[in-house]
Chain A
Amino acid sequence: MRHSINRTRLKHTDSHDLDHAREKLQSVKKEHGDLMVGGAAPAGEALGQGRALMSGTNSAFVKFSDVQKTYDGETLVVKNLNLDIARGEFLTMLGPSGSGKTTTLMMLAGFETPTNGSILLEARSIDAMPPHKRDIGMVFQSYALFPHMTVEENLAFPLKVRRLGRSEIEPRVKRALERVRLGGYCKRRPAQLSGGQQQRVALARALVFDPKLVLMDEPLGALDKQLREQMQIEIKHIHADLGVTVVYVTHDQAEALTMSDRIAVFNDGVIQQLAPPADLYERPQNAFVAQFIGENNQLHGKVVAMNGTTCKVEIAGAGNVQALAINVEAIGRPTVLSLRPERVQLNPTPGTLPNIFSAEVAEVIYLGDHVRTRVSVCGHNDFVIKLPNSEGLVQLEPGAAITVGWKTEDCRALDA
Chain B
Amino acid sequence: MVTMAVQIAREPDGMPLRTKLTRVERRRKLRAFILVLPLLLFILIGFALPIGRMMFNAIHDDTLLTLMPRTTAALSAWDGKDLPDESTYAALAEDLKQAWAQRSMGAIAKRINYELPGLGSQITSSARKASTLSAGPYKPTLIEINPVWGRQDVWSLLKRGSLAYTPYYLLRSVDYQYGPSGQIVASPPETAIFQDMFLRTLAISIGVTALTLLLGFPVAYLLATLPAKYSNLLMIMVVLPFWTSLLVRTVAWVVLLQQHGVINEMLMALHMISQPAQLIFNRIGTMVAMTHIQLPFTLLPIYSVMKTIPPIHIRAARSLGAGPFYAFWKVYFPQTLPGIAAGCLLTFILCLGYYITPAMVGGPNDQMVGSFIAHYTNEELNWGMASALGAILLTATLLLYYVFNKLVGVDRIKMG
Interface residues of A (CB under 8 A from B): 109-111, 130-132, 134-138, 140, 142, 144-148, 157-158, 161-162, 205-206, 209
Contact = CB atoms under 8 A, between A and B. Distances in A.
A132 B331 contact: no
A205 B320 contact: yes
A162 B318 contact: no
Contacts of A145: 316
B326 interface: yes
A132 B335 contact: no
Interface in B201-250: none
B321 A132 contact: yes
Chain B contact patch, size range: 20 to 34
Given A161-B321, A209-B321, A147 B315 contact: no
Contacts of B334: 148
B contact patch SS: helix
A contact patch SS: loop
Given A132-B320, A132-B323, A132-B324, 7 more contacts: A130-B323, A130-B324, A142-B312, A146-B335, A147-B335, A148-B337, A157-B331
B102 interface: no
Contact of A131 (B312, B313, B319, B337): B319
B321 A140 contact: no
Interface in B307-340: 310, 312-313, 315-324, 326-327, 330-331, 334-335, 337
Contact of A138 (B310, B316, B323, B337): B316
Interface in B152-177: none
A157 B319 contact: no
A134 B331 CA distance: 19
A111 B337 CA distance: 26
Contacts of A136: 319
Nearest to A158: B320
A146 B297 CA distance: 27
A157 B310 contact: no
B312 A157 contact: no
Contacts of A206: 319-320
- Nearest 7 Cβ contacts at the A-B interface: A144-B316, A158-B320, A138-B319, A131-B318, A161-B321, A144-B312, A148-B334
Interface in B289-320: 310, 312-313, 315-320
Interface of B: 310, 312-313, 315-324, 326-327, 330-331, 334-335, 337
A138 B320 CA distance: 8
A55 to B, nearest CB: 31
Given A132-B323, A147-B335, A148-B334, A140 B312 contact: yes
Nearest to B319: A138
A130 B327 CA distance: 13
B335 A157 contact: no
A132 B322 contact: yes
B317 A157 contact: yes
Contacts of B318: 110-111, 130-132
A130 B317 CA distance: 12
B113 to A, nearest CB: 59
Given A138-B316, A157-B317, A144 B322 contact: no
A205 B313 CA distance: 13
Contacts of A161: 320-322, 326
A135 B316 contact: no
A162 B326 CA distance: 12
B321 A146 contact: no
A137 B315 CA distance: 11
A201 B300 CA distance: 33
B335 A111 contact: no
A131 B330 contact: no
Contacts of B319: 109, 131-132, 134, 136-138, 206
Nearest to B320: A158
